[in-house]
Amino acid sequence: MIHLHPPFTVTLSLAAHQQAERLRQQHNDPRRAKQVYLNALAVYAVGFYLECLGIQTLSSLTPDHLLMDSASLTVPACGILECRPVLPNETELSVPAEVWSDRIGYVAVQLSESLREAAILGFVPTVAAERIPLTELRSLDELPRYLHDRQTPASAPINLGEWLQGVADAAWRTVDEFLDPLLNPPQPAFGFRGDRLPSAEADEPTEPLIRRGKNVALRTESDTLPLVLLMGLLPRSTQDVDIWVQLEATEQRQLPPTLQLRVLDDTGTEVMYAQARSTEAMQLQFTAAAGEQFGVQIRLEDQTITETFIVGLGTRS
């Protein structure tokens, strides 16, 4: 294995190989299946490394990993890293043109011949060729500072008025982008469940007009729990919008019984609450007024993830 700088070596666990195998089985083409398997191992290694540094990452079985030669790993508030596998005797980093955009960096992960270990060699911020010599990698020691410098302010609320105009951050994908018939077992249905909001007229729509979702993850005692946070919007007037909030697991049928979903007001006070109790999904529904700010909080034991939103209906054209 090439060692340009002291690498960070990750033991590739049975869980890493099981996830890679689930992805590999979605392909009949042996060449593509092998690449998907190696990509999944590279993503696991980089995710493990960053979490050791206290940097949260989000990774799940997404259509991108199946339909493209993609090995993407999201770093919240920073962007998407591409984690490219390097085989033992290779001296170049291979980066297909289809992943040259929407990435904040490309990390080289050299896999051992037995696929039991992965050495994270370094990274490059951008690419303009499909083959990058490993000698051109920046030191892995620079990666944490590089990511820190690219963080966006966490306090900036997400403007839901922009969603109504078709504008959203890349992390918030449309529900259709999550769905993929090739996935087995299937991903969540992303149908907003539970009682619908009451409407004044029988023929008024009671389903969300806008539906977007975001991958999030919480650390359990033994593993990482990947989830999808779903938001649905249905404007009722120029001043009010009905809002659906739903939380689903992506790799198991039931949520942990202690998982909590909360809606907070602009002071951080809880105004709505749901607990999983071994259900498949949690959902909260409410109406918010133009200019109103609120938070959606996911809590599991001592861990929390909070997303802040503002109802910017005044931005609609």
Domain of 90 in residue numbering reads as 8-149
Residue at a domain's end among 149, 183, 205: 149
Same domain assignment for residues 141 and 173: no
Q: Is residue 279 part of a domain?
A: yes
Same domain assignment for residues 122 and 162: no
CA dist., res. 138 & res. 121, Å (int): 9
Residue at a domain's end among 116, 149, 182: 149
pLDDT at 2: 46
Same domain assignment for residues 68 and 173: no
Same domain assignment for residues 187 and 275: yes
Provide CB contacts within 8 A for 6, sequence distance 6+: 140
Q: Is residue 2 part of a domain?
A: no
- Residue stretches of the chain with pLDDT short of 50: 1-4, 60-61, 63-64, 180-190, 193-203, 315-317
Nearest to 188 by CA among 218, 220, 229: 229
Q: pLDDT tens digits, residue range 149-203?
A: 887 655 578 999 999 888 988 889 888 776 543 333 344 444 554 443 333 344 4
Backbone torsion region of residue 159, taken as left when φ is above 0, otherwise alpha when ψ lies between -120 and 50, otherwise beta: beta
pLDDT at 152: 61
Same domain assignment for residues 27 and 135: yes
How many structural domains compose the chain?
2
Same domain assignment for residues 306 and 240: yes
Q: Enter the pTM of the model.
A: 0.53
Same domain assignment for residues 204 and 290: yes
Same domain assignment for residues 84 and 222: no
Same domain assignment for residues 167 and 60: no
For 252, counting Cβ atoms within 10 Å of its Cβ (0-12 exposed, 13-18 middle, 19+ buried), the class is exposed
